[in-house]
Amino acid sequence: MDTIQSIKQLCDLMDTRQASSYEITSEYLARIRRIDKQLNSFVSLHEEAALRAARLADKNRACGRIKPLTGIPIGHKDVFCVKGERTSCCSRMLESFVAPYSATIVQNLEDAGAVSLGKTNMDEFAMGSSNETSIFGPARNPWNLDRVPGGSSGGSAAAVAACIAPACTGSDTGGSIRQPASFCGVTGFKPTYGVNSRFGMVAFASSLDHPGTLTRSVEDARIMFDAMSGQDLLDSTSSRAPASSNTSAATRMTLGYPTSLFSDLPFSITNALEEARKILEGQGNTIIEIDLPHFDNAVAAYYVISCAEASANLARYDGIRYGHRSMHGSTFDSLCEHSRSEGFGQEVKRRILTGTFVLSVGHYDAYYVKAQKVRRLIRDDYLRAFEKVDLILSPASPTTAFRLHALDREPTEMYKQDQFTVPVNMAGLPAMSIPCGFAEELPVGFQMIGPHFGESRLFSLGVQFQTLTDWHLKAPNVLA
């Protein structure tokens, strides 16, 4: 079996009986055992269950019961519950939590025939942009092991880039799919808010959390999206509006390009972005300048809102009903305090305390309500832009993958990593990060942003770009 295989190619192998799901799944498990000591991209493996599911998939194929993902092994970010398996969120708080049910998107993927390989590494509770806050240690970038894979879905991005999983799920609250996709040279996609169910995904900031995927191509992202998405009555914010992955949407589009936002970027990033722009222009797409006046306020407003929501969501970890329970504390309150202090890492504590501050008496209006007003201005900027354009282009990240520990003592510098992705979550828009080149031997990605429920436009333009380029076909030689 070739090293680099897309979901589509793996399906072809099974359709033509060149390989069974059992053989394919075994091969990926062997690759993980062989090289993941270097990457640390998986934090748990479901070997027995995966091989059992693969055998069942082979039986189903033999009987003609073939679904879009029958027999395809995939990894799940450790933020998603998989029934009977540990879901730790890479936190001591949930280190021994075994999920009694599966997340809806996990169930949807299994219903479409997917085989769960295991759980991938992430920043603790998805709070981070480098995958360094995981209790299992950082995942590493397969293009350069001294560099971070990005975060928080760093394990998923590293695993797909290194070809030790054909595709993985991820979650994106402020860029946690698109930034690691950019750092690792893979395709990262999150649909419109509410299109993928959040049920069974450990909550960080509920109005900003978007489940999505990391894949080797746009075509694979589309296959995963078709299987994952749909209204879910178990998620009260699940959308009833139909989202389409139809790639026959308009082939020539008007693309917005907010050049003024890119002035401070390193040449290597803007150069790759310019090349991508020229390729798209060459295909008959029209590029026009657009303005997003409140773009620069997004990261600050995002940190107020996301920390506020995190402080409320993480209040549930009391050490009593589930999660880490301290051996100390003789009263209910002190047991809670000890359990939470021992269970949460530093970044999580910082965000809970920040969120508690902005929600507290005397600060609520000045911070939380103010940030929500700024959020409306940001969303309205996009709505106005989409009156003129079909999609918006931008970088996915202001840098390529940085060195491990480079931003350890710079929490706000780390937050700025998400400057191009955060505004999209504030507006709940669908977006995709696609590899578009290299800078100093590290991948660079560009981002396409769509209007609400404009997934089909993203898939159309993404497929168009990947038909003309081969950046997505490159892989690091970590398997060699």
Smallest distance, another protein to C-beta of residue 21, A? 30
End-to-end CA distance of the chain: 14
Is residue 369 a contact residue for another protein (CB under 8 A)? yes
Smaller CB distance to another protein: residue 116 or 354? 354
Q: Could you identify the residue written with the tokens 């047991």?
A: 335
Mark 376-415 with x for binding to another protein (rule: CB under 8 A) and - for no binding: xx-x-------------------------------xx--x
Smallest distance, another protein to C-beta of residue 240, A? 6
Smallest distance, another protein to C-beta of residue 442, A? 27
Q: Long-range contacts: 341-346, Cβ < 8 Å, 24+?
A: 342/92, 343/91, 343/92, 343/93, 343/317, 343/319, 344/91, 344/92, 344/93, 344/124, 344/125, 344/314, 344/317, 345/91, 345/92, 345/124, 345/133, 345/135, 346/133
Smallest distance, another protein to C-beta of residue 274, A? 30
Is residue 83 a contact residue for another protein (CB under 8 A)? no
CA 384 → CA 66, 212, 381, distances in Å?
A: 44, 26, 5
Tell me which residue of 129, 385, 159, 381 sits closest to 257, measured CA to CA.
385
Determine the 3-state secondary structure of 325 from DSSP.
Answer: coil
Token code pair at residue 236: 């009260």
Is residue 261 a contact residue for another protein (CB under 8 A)? no
CA 299 → CA 53, 350, 421, distances in Å?
A: 42, 16, 9
* Annotated catalytic residue 152: yes
Is residue 38 a contact residue for another protein (CB under 8 A)? no
Is residue 238 a contact residue for another protein (CB under 8 A)? yes
Smaller CB distance to another protein: residue 248 or 330? 330
DSSP structure class, residue 260: G
Pick one of 26, 60, 237, 469: the residue that binds another protein (CB under 8 A). Answer: 237
Can you tell me the distance from the alpha carbon of 458 to that of 208, in angstroms, rounded to the nearest whole number?
A: 20
Q: Which stretch binds another protein (CB under 8 A): 39-47, 114-122, 159-167, 362-370?
A: 362-370
Smallest distance, another protein to C-beta of residue 321, A? 5
* Annotated catalytic residue 77: yes
Q: 207: cis peptide before it, omega within 30°?
A: no
Smaller CB distance to another protein: residue 15 or 333? 333
Q: Which helix (H) or strand (E) element contains residue 172?
A: strand 167-172
Smaller CB distance to another protein: residue 38 or 332? 332
Is residue 283 a contact residue for another protein (CB under 8 A)? no
Is residue 84 a contact residue for another protein (CB under 8 A)? no
Can you tell me the distance from the alpha carbon of 251 to that of 126, in angstroms, rounded to the nearest whole number?
A: 36
Q: Which stretch binds another protein (CB under 8 A): 126-134, 154-162, 257-265, 371-379?
A: 371-379
**Which residues on neighbouring strands pair with residue 187, listed in sequence order?**
215
Q: Which stretch binds another protein (CB under 8 A): 23-31, 152-160, 218-226, 331-339?
A: 331-339
The residues assigned a catalytic role are 77, 152, 176
